Amino acid sequence: MKFTKMHGAGNDYVYIDCFKEKVDHPEALAKKVSDRHKGIGSDGLVLIMPSLTCDFRMRMFNADGSEAQMCGNASRCIGKYVYDAGYVRKRTITLETKGGVKTLELFPENGRVKKVKVDMGEPVLLAGKVPVKWNEPELINRILSFEPEEYAVTAVSMGNPHAVIFMQDIDRLDIERIGGKIENHPMFPERTNVEFVEIHTPTHARMRVWERGSGETQACGTGACAVQVAGVLTGKLERKVTLSLPGGDLELEWNENNRVYLTGDAVKVFEGNYEQA
């Protein structure tokens, strides 16, 4: 089975072109290919598929085999893949995801896409829709206990759930310990992604992310969008910012039309053949 390894801001996935390949058990395959010692090594598996309603369809699976609704970094890489492979020549395409339809604007240079802007849609703040178990309509900048730590949390869905935490000195954070604790806390019935954010200026912040089902990753596109929204809601960030992640920078804008736009790189690492057992 042919595959392509790609990354957006260091958030790396194994991509399968389902116009040419057939994947019968993606949950199991995701676990195998994601293993960084015995597999290809990635944050998960992404299937590029035909769609009845859009130009293309995406299914994505975390490293633990669980299926996720949406990934901003993976969406950008799909935009690069389908353009570079010659499936499209237009600069704007639509992508069907479990988190809704996303519109991608492609920026090619010398026949290859280098950067992609994704219309990530409108953020969801209603607690029951995120979802988060909370006794008020929204969970914004409220102190929660995760024993023994306490953090001010803002819950946002960008097609998948996020818990955004603003704090100091994120480099010293024991993310392996606290990330999994928050991800699996009972107040998040579908588990959650967790973003730890350090503000530098109103237009620039740094973040580390603990992704649901994958652990700490180099970047998370939907997480960056959730940080942008949470930053505006708490008065910490302006509506147009740059977020620096371990894997690189992402540009975010929460427009006045209530839609969040994510812009960043899309990089092909290598391609090869994977022998399925």
Q: How does the average pLDDT of the chain come out, rounded?
A: 96
Amino acid at 224: A
pLDDT at residue 276 in the model: 78
Residue 220 is among the residues annotated as catalytic for this protein: yes
Instruction: Classify domain 127-258 by CATH number.
Output: 3.10.310.10
pLDDT at residue 277 in the model: 66
Residues of the chain with CATH 3.10.310.10: 2-120+264-273, 127-258
Please check the confidence at residue 29 and state whether its pLDDT lies above 70: yes
Q: What is residue 171's three-state secondary structure?
A: helix
pTM summary value: 0.93
From 18, 71, 77, 225, the catalytic residue = 71
C-alpha dist (Å) from residue 195 to 57, 173, 217:
27, 12, 11
From 18, 54, 77, 220, the catalytic residue = 220
Which of 80, 127, 118 minimizes the C-alpha distance to 99?
A: 118
Q: Which two tokens stand for residue 12?
A: 């790396």
Residue 18 is among the residues annotated as catalytic for this protein: no
**Burial degree of 39 (CB within 10 A; 0-12, 13-18, 19+):** middle
pLDDT at residue 207 in the model: 98
User: What is the CATH topology of the domain spanning 2-120+264-273?
Assistant: Diaminopimelate Epimerase; Chain A, domain 1 (3.10.310)
